[in-house]
C-alpha cells in the first residue's frame, strides 16, 4: 500500500443517514473471491434502475460528480454488516477519503486497513460541506499530516486520528508484518495462559 | 474501584501495550466462513505466510448454501466460493464443517452448539453478528477481511479499548414476549447507533432468567445498536449449557473453570461510561416497520407520524423508509399484510426458537397468500427438531421445512423475497434490499412470525390459541 500524507480531490455529497453496507455493496456481489472489481457494483440498487440503466437522480450519477474521490456523508455511515467489500467497492470506484459526522465501528476500521481515510467532522462542518457539494463540484484538501480538511474558500476543519493509524497510513505499512515482529510477546502470552 | 466484565476480559488478553498504539489483543477462537475469508487466505499465500494457530480456527459454510437441495449448488460463483474455502482449509490445516457434515450450520449457531464458544474467551469472525457469542461472557466481535488475515497470521489484533455501556433490564416479561422483542424494544427506544464505540453488558433480572439461546438472540443484535460487542456475565445457566458439548471442557476441569468464569462478573462498584435501565414489563411483542432495526413498534401500536420525529435527520429517515416499505405514517402495525414468512437466521434459528414458532403453528394453516419457510440454524438443530416432531407440525400447517444456512436473512442463496412483498422475518436486519431487491422486511420474534404466517398479517401472538405455551 502506498503512503498517503495529503490528498486533494473532488468531493461528492451524500446527504443520507444510516447508510448501511448492504447499500454500499449489495449481497449478490459478495461471491467474488478477489478484492478488486467491486467498484462497478457500488451503491448498486440506488445507482441503477431495475433495467440496469443509470438512475439520473442518484448523487454519484450527476454530471458534476464525475471523477470524485472524496465522499461527504451523514451520520452512522457504513452501519450493519462487517463486509470489507464495502470499502473495497468505494476504493475501486475511486474514493480515497470519506467524511462524516459518525461512522459505524467495523466500517471505520475496514477503511483504515485499506488505506482509505475516514474523517469525522462536526455536524456544522458537515452541513457546510454538504451544502457546498449540492449540485456543484467542490474541491477539498485533506491532510493526514496536519489532520485538517480545507477548501479554497477558507474553510478549515481539524479532525482526530489515532497516532498509530496516522503513522500507518502516511507510511503505507503492512500491519501484519509489524505484528509478526512481536512474535516473542505473542509466544510469551501463549505460554503464560497455558 | 471495581472492574466491569468487559475490562476484565480485555485485560486478560493484552499481549502488548505501548503508548500511542492500540492494545495488541490475543484471540482465543477464530471462526471462518466462505464469504469474508477468500481474500484473507489469498493474502497469506501472496506473502508466503501460514496460519499461526489452526487449532484455534474453525470454519463452516453458511451464507451461500442452498436450503432445498444442499448438494445441488446451481450458482457457479457461490460454488466457487465454497470450493475455495474447502481448499483453503485443507491447505492451511483448518477444521471445516463442510456442507455434508452433521456439524454444518450458521457459524454463530454451531460455535456454541459444539462447545467451541466458552466464557472468558476473545472470539472473532468476519461477520458482524459475532456478538452472539457474547452470551457466554466472552468478548466476541465482528471483523473485516483484513483483520481475518491478521488473525490467521498472528492470532492477535490491534484494538483500541471501547467504552462500556450497561443495559440493565429488570422486572418481568409478559407472556408471549420473547428475547427478540426485548432487543427490538431496546433498539426502538435508543436507536441504531447508541452503542457505537461501546461494548454492551446486558444484565438485570430479565437477562438472568433467560436461557442461553435467548441470551444469544439478545447479544446477536448488539451490532444493530452500533455496539462493537454485547455480552452477559457467565452464571450457572451458562455452565449447564456447556456440559457435554464436543469441544467444551468436562468434569473436574469444567468445575474448576466454572469458578474462574463466574468471577469474571462485573464488580459491585464497577463504573460504566454509559448506563440505561429498562423495565421489562413495558415490553410488548414488537414488529419493525422501517428500514433500520430501530424503526420498530409494538404490534398493538402504529407507525409514527412525521410530525412526531425528533430531528430533521430522523424525519428524513422515516420518510425514505415509508416510501421504500410502501407504508404510511400513522398506519396500524396490525394492518400490514405479509406474503412471506422466514423463521431462521443466527438470531432465531435454534431449537427453542423453532419450538416457540411450532407452538403457535400447531394445528393451524399457513394463510393462502403466504409462503412460509423454516430454516433450522444447523444440521444438529434440524435433527433435534425432527426428533421432537417439530417438522411435522410445520409441514402439516403448510410451512416449508428446509436445510440449515443463513438463507433469507441476507438472500445470498436462492431464498429471496420478491420486490414489493412484505416478509415477517426472525432475522436481524430490515435494510433496503437485504432480503432481495425491493423486498420489505419486518423483524419479529419466532412466535410472531408463525402468527403472521397463519393470519397473513401481523397479529398479537398473545391473543392466539397455543400462545399460552409461549413464554
Domain ranges of chain A: 6-192
Q: Residue B380: what pLDDT? A: 98
Catalogue all structural domains in chain B, each as residue range(s) with its CATH number.
5-275 (3.30.499.10), 286-469 (3.30.499.10)
Q: Does B466 have pLDDT greater than 70?
A: no
B433-448: average pLDDT:
97
Q: Is B4 in contact with B266 (CB distance < 8 Å)? A: yes
Whether residues A27 and B78 touch (CB distance < 8 A) is answered with: no
Question: CATH number for the A6-192 domain, one of 3.20.19.10, 3.40.50.300, 1.20.120.1200, 1.10.565.10?
Answer: 3.20.19.10
In chain A, which among 80-119 make CB contacts under 8 A with chain B? 80-84, 87, 102, 104-106, 109-110, 113-114
Q: Does B103 have pLDDT greater than 90?
A: yes
Q: Quick one: pLDDT band at residue B64, thresholds 50, 70, 90? A: very high
Q: ipTM strictly over 0.85?
A: yes
B352-374: average pLDDT:
98
Residue B457 assigned as binding residue: no
pLDDT digits (tens, 9 = 90+) for B236-255: 999 999 999 999 999 999 99
Q: Which chain B residue has the Cα nearest residue A35?
A: B39
Q: Quick one: pLDDT band at residue B470, thresholds 50, 70, 90? A: low
Residue numbers in A near B197 (CB within 8 A): 105
Q: Does B131 have pLDDT greater than 70?
A: yes
pLDDT digits (tens, 9 = 90+) for A78-121: 999 999 999 999 999 999 999 999 999 999 999 999 999 999 99
Q: Residue A3: what pLDDT? A: 79
Distance from chain centroid for Cα A33: 21
CA distance from start to end of chain B:
39
Q: Does B471 have pLDDT greater than 70?
A: no
Whether residues B162 and A22 touch (CB distance < 8 A) is answered with: no
Mean pLDDT, chain B, as a whole number?
96
Q: Does A122 have pLDDT greater than 90?
A: yes
Q: Residue B467: what pLDDT? A: 58
Residue numbers in A near B47 (CB within 8 A): 176
Q: Does B73 have pLDDT greater than 90?
A: no
Candidate from A20, A82, A105 with C-beta closest to B126: A82
DSSP state of A37: S
pLDDT digits (tens, 9 = 90+) for A156-183: 999 999 999 999 999 999 999 999 999 9
CA distances (Å), origin B414, targets A145, B68, B77, B349, B405: 48, 9, 13, 18, 12
Candidate from B36, B144, B411 with C-beta closest to A109: B144
A179 touches chain B (CB under 8 A): yes
A3-25: average pLDDT:
95
Sign of the dihedral through C-alpha B82, B85, B87, B89: negative
The grid coordinates listed for B105 are: 450450520
In chain B, which among 73-92 make CB contacts under 8 A with chain A? 75, 77-78, 80-81, 84
B381-395: average pLDDT:
98
A140-152: average pLDDT:
97
Whether residues A182 and B153 touch (CB distance < 8 A) is answered with: no
pLDDT digits (tens, 9 = 90+) for B255-265: 999 999 999 99
Candidate from B20, B128, B226 with C-beta closest to A82: B128
Question: Phi/psi at B343 (nearest 5 deg)?
Answer: -110, 110
Q: Does A194 have pLDDT greater than 80?
A: no
B4 touches chain A (CB under 8 A): no
Amino acid at each position: 500500500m502506498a503512503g498517503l500524507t495529503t490528498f486533494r480531490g473532488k468531493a461528492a455529497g451524500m446527504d443520507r443517514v444510516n447508510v448501511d453496507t448492504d447499500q454500499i455493496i449489495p449481497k449478490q456481489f459478495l461471491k467474488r473471491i478477489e478484492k478488486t472489481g467491486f467498484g462497478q457494483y457500488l451503491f448498486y440498487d440506488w445507482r441503477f434502475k431495475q433495467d440496469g440503466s443509470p438512475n439520473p437522480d442518484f448523487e454519484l450519477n450527476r454530471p458534476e460528480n464525475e471523477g470524485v474521490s472524496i465522499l461527504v456523508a451523514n451520520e452512522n455511515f457504513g452501519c450493519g454488516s462487517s463486509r470489507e467489500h464495502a470499502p473495497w467497492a468505494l476504493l475501486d470506484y475511486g474514493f480515497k477519503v470519506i467524511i462524516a459526522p459518525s461512522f459505524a465501528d467495523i466500517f471505520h476500521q475496514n477503511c483504515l486497513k485499506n488505506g482509505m481515510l475516514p474523517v469525522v467532522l462536526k455536524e456544522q462542518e458537515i452541513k457546510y460541506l454538504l451544502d457546498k457539494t449540492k449540485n456543484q463540484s467542490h474541491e477539498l484538501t485533506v491532510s493526514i499530516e496536519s489532520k485538517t480538511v480545507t477548501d479554497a474558500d477558507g474553510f478549515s476543519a481539524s479532525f482526530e486520528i489515532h497516532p498509530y493509524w496516522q503513522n500507518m497510513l502516511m507510511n503505507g505499512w503492512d500491519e501484519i508484518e509489524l505484528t509478526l515482529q512481536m512474535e516473542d510477546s505473542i509466544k510469551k502470552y501463549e505460554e503464560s495462559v497455558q | 474501584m471495581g472492574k466491569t466484565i468487559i475490562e476484565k476480559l480485555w485485560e486478560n488478553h493484552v499481549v502488548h501495550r505501548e503508548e500511542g498504539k492500540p492494545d495488541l489483543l490475543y484471540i482465543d477462537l477464530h471462526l471462518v466462513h466462505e464469504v469474508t475469508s477468500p481474500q484473507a487466505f489469498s493474502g497469506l499465500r501472496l506473502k508466503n505466510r501460514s496460519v499461526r494457530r489452526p487449532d484455534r480456527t474453525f470454519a463452516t459454510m453458511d451464507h451461500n448454501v442452498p436450503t432445498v437441495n444442499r448438494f445441488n449448488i446451481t450458482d457457479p460463483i457461490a460454488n466457487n466460493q465454497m470450493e475455495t474455502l474447502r481448499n483453503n482449509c485443507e491447505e492451511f490445516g483448518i477444521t471445516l464443517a463442510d456442507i455434508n457434515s452433521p456439524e454444518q450450520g450458521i457459524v454463530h449457531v454451531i460455535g456454541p452448539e459444539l462447545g467451541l464458544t466458552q466464557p472468558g474467551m476473545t472470539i472473532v469472525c468476519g461477520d458482524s453478528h459475532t456478538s452472539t457469542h457474547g452470551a457466554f461472557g466472552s468478548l466476541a466481535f465482528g471483523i473485516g477481511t483484513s483483520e481475518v488475515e491478521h488473525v490467521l497470521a498472528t492470532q492477535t489484533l490491534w484494538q483500541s479499548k471501547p467504552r462500556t455501556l450497561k443495559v440493565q433490564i429488570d422486572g418481568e416479561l409478559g407472556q408471549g414476549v420473547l428475547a427478540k422483542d426485548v432487543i427490538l424494544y431496546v433498539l426502538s427506544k435508543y436507536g441504531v447507533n447508541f452503542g457505537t464505540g461501546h461494548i454492551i453488558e446486558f444484565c438485570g433480572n430479565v437477562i438472568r432468567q433467560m436461557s442461553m439461546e435467548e441470551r444469544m438472540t439478545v447479544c446477536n443484535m448488539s451490532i444493530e445498536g452500533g455496539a462493537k460487542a454485547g455480552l452477559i456475565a457467565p452464571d450457572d445457566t451458562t455452565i449447564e449449557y456447556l456440559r457435554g458439548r464436543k469441544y467444551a471442557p468436562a468434569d473436574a476441569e469444567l468445575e474448576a473453570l466454572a469458578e474462574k468464569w463466574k468471577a469474571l462478573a462485573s464488580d459491585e462498584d464497577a463504573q460504566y461510561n454509559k448506563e440505561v435501565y429498562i423495565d421489562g414489563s413495558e415490553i410488548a411483542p414488537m414488529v419493525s416497520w422501517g428500514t433500520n432495526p430501530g424503526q420498530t413498534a409494538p404490534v398493538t401500536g402504529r407507525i409514527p407520524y412525521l410530525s412526531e420525529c425528533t430531528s430533521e435527520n430522523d424525519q428524513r429517515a422515516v420518510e425514505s423508509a415509508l416510501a421504500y416499505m410502501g407504508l404510511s405514517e400513522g398506519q396500524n402495525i396490525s394492518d400490514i399484510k405479509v406474503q412471506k414468512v422466514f423463521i431462521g437466521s443466527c438470531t432465531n434459528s435454534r431449537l427453542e426458537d423453532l419450538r416457540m414458532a411450532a407452538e403457535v403453528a400447531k394445528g393451524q394453516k399457513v394463510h393462502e397468500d403466504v409462503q412460509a419457510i423454516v430454516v433450522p440454524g444447523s444440521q444438529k438443530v434440524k435433527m433435534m427438531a425432527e426428533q421432537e416432531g417439530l417438522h411435522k407440525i410445520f409441514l402439516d400447517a403448510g410451512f416449508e421445512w428446509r436445510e440449515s444456512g443463513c438463507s433469507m436473512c441476507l438472500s445470498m442463496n436462492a431464498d429471496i423475497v420478491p420486490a414489493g412483498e412484505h416478509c415477517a422475518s426472525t432475522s436481524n436486519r430490515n435494510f433496503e434490499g437485504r432480503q432481495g431487491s425491493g423486498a420489505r422486511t419486518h423483524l419479529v420474534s419466532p412466535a410472531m412470525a408463525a402468527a403472521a404466517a397463519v393470519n397473513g398479517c401481523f397479529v398479537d401472538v398473545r391473543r392466539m390459541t397455543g400462545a399460552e405455551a409461549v413464554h
